Amino acid sequence: MTETLNADVVIIGAGATGLTAATDLVKAGHSVVVLEARDRVGGRLWTNDIEGQMFEIGGQWVSPDQTALLATLEELGLPTYSRYREGESVYVGRDGVAKRFTGDIFPASPTTESEIERLIVVLDELVAQVDPDAPWAHPQAHELDHVSFRTWLEQQSDDEEARDNIALFIADAMLTKPAHAFSTLQALLMAASAGSFSNLVDADFILDKRVVGGLQGVPLALAASLGDRVKLEQPVHTLEWSDDGVVATTDTLRVEAKRALVAVPPNLYGRIDYVPPLPRRRHQLHQHLSLGLVIKVHATYETPFWRDKGLSGTAFSPYQLVHEAYDNSNHGETRGTLVGFVSDEKADRVFALDADERKRLILESLAAYYGDEALSPAVYYESDWASEEWTQGAYAASYDLGGLSRYGQDQNSPVGPIRFGSSDLAGLGFQHVDGAIRVGHRIGAEIAESLAATAVASA
């Protein structure tokens, strides 16, 4: 039996984007129904209990430039705390030797260190010319979008270790795709969306704070206020649309509305049947966006043993399986937790192994940074978003080579009564919760405006 609901707006997806837009539209006096495929809200934000230990399975960090997210945290009364960062960081170079350091520049040879510093300046200058809301408008957008970030780095420097380190900040650490798989323009957008390339290099900036109880607190609080407007376990399979409005259909619900927001990651747009089909260019655009791949590894120990050695827990190496790791101990806990990341082709390699072998290799990589104590966690967990039907990758989507300059300018255009939006299509806060909230506010306002215009026209 299918129940029919009527609303001004139907929102598909109860992640940070969809729930922000829904909240704004309700505040503006509109009726809203949010249809969510999963049995929980939050999408890529998920706080879970694994063997008695709280882990943030998806997004967790907040940085000072993320003013939209910070404003939401303030409004919802969600307190934050700083990531532990006392002591020295660790870098493992090509020689496999762990070296301690302070500051942002990895302790390579003096020539490599100064080459890294030079490349950061070059990138900062380029990034300053890029508008994160319109990277395609850069005068050299086409040229920058036609050369992979790896090739561009090879054109800039003969120092392989310097190149590997610069690539790490965008490829392994952000887009979670190999540096040959995305363009220089896409890399510049990633940095511009965080204010500068230097901000990405500065772990104390980019991974500054966490939310007490977990960042999923944001969607949970928004959904609680929306009440029964949010419907769980309602994957939308059909979206009929015309000038008169939309009809979204799930297995048990049919929602008739004037406007729709598809607030799901772009790789999932094609899971919905659009009747009639979307226009040609939209079909093409969607096929040029894909999610990266990363395993977020959580390892909890009875104590944060690395702190006793004078280590902050911050660790990097383009040559290690775990390319970056941090102290991720939860607020108020005496146990210590490390979080590490295994990206793109390295993730492919370990996903081809059985779970025990993968765990052994990952823990050995943590031990290369922190010593053998890292080999024996009390609780171990791998966040595997690529296996999640309603996400299928992490952290977010980016364009293939040439896609951003070719299609980017159309990504925010509505198709009749349908708008598409998520953190994957953000400018500032691109790929982050801050971007999801910005996109949610923007689309909420656009829909409210278009509903008002329709009301005036029909009055």
Q: Which is nearer to ligand FDA, 15 or 245 (CB)?
A: 15
CB 14 within 8 A of CB 225: no
**Of 200, 197, 196, 220, the residue nearest 208 (C-alpha):** 200
Does position 226 interact with ligand FDA (CB under 6 A)? The reply is no
Does position 292 interact with ligand FDA (CB under 6 A)? The reply is no
Task: Spell out the residues 6+ positions from residue 236 whose beta carbon is closer than 8 angstroms to its own.
Answer: 12, 35, 37, 248, 249, 250, 272
Does position 203 interact with ligand FDA (CB under 6 A)? The reply is no
Helix or strand or coil: residue 236?
Answer: coil
Does position 444 interact with ligand FDA (CB under 6 A)? The reply is no
Does position 194 interact with ligand FDA (CB under 6 A)? The reply is no
* 21 is annotated as contributing to ligand binding: no
- The single residue among 8, 17, 112, 285 that binds ligand FDA, judged by CB under 6 A, is 17
* Residue 148 per-residue DSSP state: B
Torsion of CA 363, 366, 370, 372, to 10 degrees: 20
Q: Cα(8)–Cα(255) distance, rounded to whole angstroms? A: 10
Task: Spell out the residues 6+ positions from residue 426 whose beta carbon is closer than 8 angstroms to its own.
Answer: 193, 432, 434, 435, 436, 438, 439
Q: Which is nearer to ligand FDA, 220 or 268 (CB)?
A: 268
Does position 396 interact with ligand FDA (CB under 6 A)? The reply is yes
* 161 is annotated as contributing to ligand binding: no
The count of other CB atoms within 10 Å of the CB of residue 373 is 17
* 17 is annotated as contributing to ligand binding: yes
Does position 37 interact with ligand FDA (CB under 6 A)? The reply is yes
Q: Cα(343)–Cα(182) distance, rounded to whole angstroms? A: 15
Does position 229 interact with ligand FDA (CB under 6 A)? The reply is no
Q: How many CA atoms lie within 13 A of 35 on its CB side?
A: 29
Which span (29-37, 116-124, 179-187, 397-405) binds ligand FDA, by CB under 6 A?
A: 29-37
CB 238 within 8 A of CB 396: no
Query: Strands 336-343 and 324-327: what pairing?
Result: antiparallel
Query: Taking the complex as a whole, how short is the minimal distance between the CB of residue 334 and ligand FDA, in angstroms?
Result: 24
Query: Taking the complex as a whole, how short is the minimal distance between the CB of residue 274 and ligand FDA, in angstroms?
Result: 12
- The single residue among 118, 146, 271, 360 that binds ligand FDA, judged by CB under 6 A, is 271
Q: Cα(215)–Cα(159) distance, rounded to whole angstroms? A: 39
Which span (43-51, 102-110, 187-195, 222-230) binds ligand FDA, by CB under 6 A?
A: 43-51
Which span (169-177, 183-191, 354-362, 389-397) binds ligand FDA, by CB under 6 A?
A: 389-397
Query: Taking the complex as a whole, how short is the minimal distance between the CB of residue 37 and ligand FDA, in angstroms?
Result: 4
Q: Cα(376)–Cα(168) distance, rounded to whole angstroms? A: 27
* 88 is annotated as contributing to ligand binding: no
Does position 36 interact with ligand FDA (CB under 6 A)? The reply is yes
CB 153 within 8 A of CB 167: yes
**Of 443, 67, 453, the residue nearest 260 (C-alpha):** 443
* Tokens describing residue 396: 């977010």
* 341 is annotated as contributing to ligand binding: yes
Does position 268 interact with ligand FDA (CB under 6 A)? The reply is yes
Does position 289 interact with ligand FDA (CB under 6 A)? The reply is no
Which element (helix H / strand E) includes 397? strand 397-399
Does position 45 interact with ligand FDA (CB under 6 A)? The reply is yes
Q: Which is nearer to ligand FDA, 329 or 383 (CB)?
A: 383
* Residue 173 per-residue DSSP state: I
Q: Hey, which residues between 60 and 89 contact ligand FDA (CB under 6 A)?
A: 60-61
Q: Cα(205)–Cα(197) distance, rounded to whole angstroms? A: 12
Please give the radius of gyration of the chain, using alpha carbons only, rounded to the nearest integer: 22
Does position 385 interact with ligand FDA (CB under 6 A)? The reply is yes
Does position 173 interact with ligand FDA (CB under 6 A)? The reply is no
- The single residue among 9, 10, 11, 14 that binds ligand FDA, judged by CB under 6 A, is 14
Does position 383 interact with ligand FDA (CB under 6 A)? The reply is yes
Task: Spell out the residues 6+ positions from residue 214 whose beta carbon is closer than 8 angstroms to its own.
Answer: 45, 47, 54, 56, 60
Does position 390 interact with ligand FDA (CB under 6 A)? The reply is yes
Please enumerate, by residue number, every residue annotated as part of a binding site: 17, 36-37, 236, 341
Instruction: Report the interface residues with ligand FDA, using CB under 6 A.
Output: 12-18, 35-38, 43-45, 58-61, 235-236, 263-265, 268, 271-272, 296, 383, 385, 390-391, 394-396, 422-423, 431-434, 436
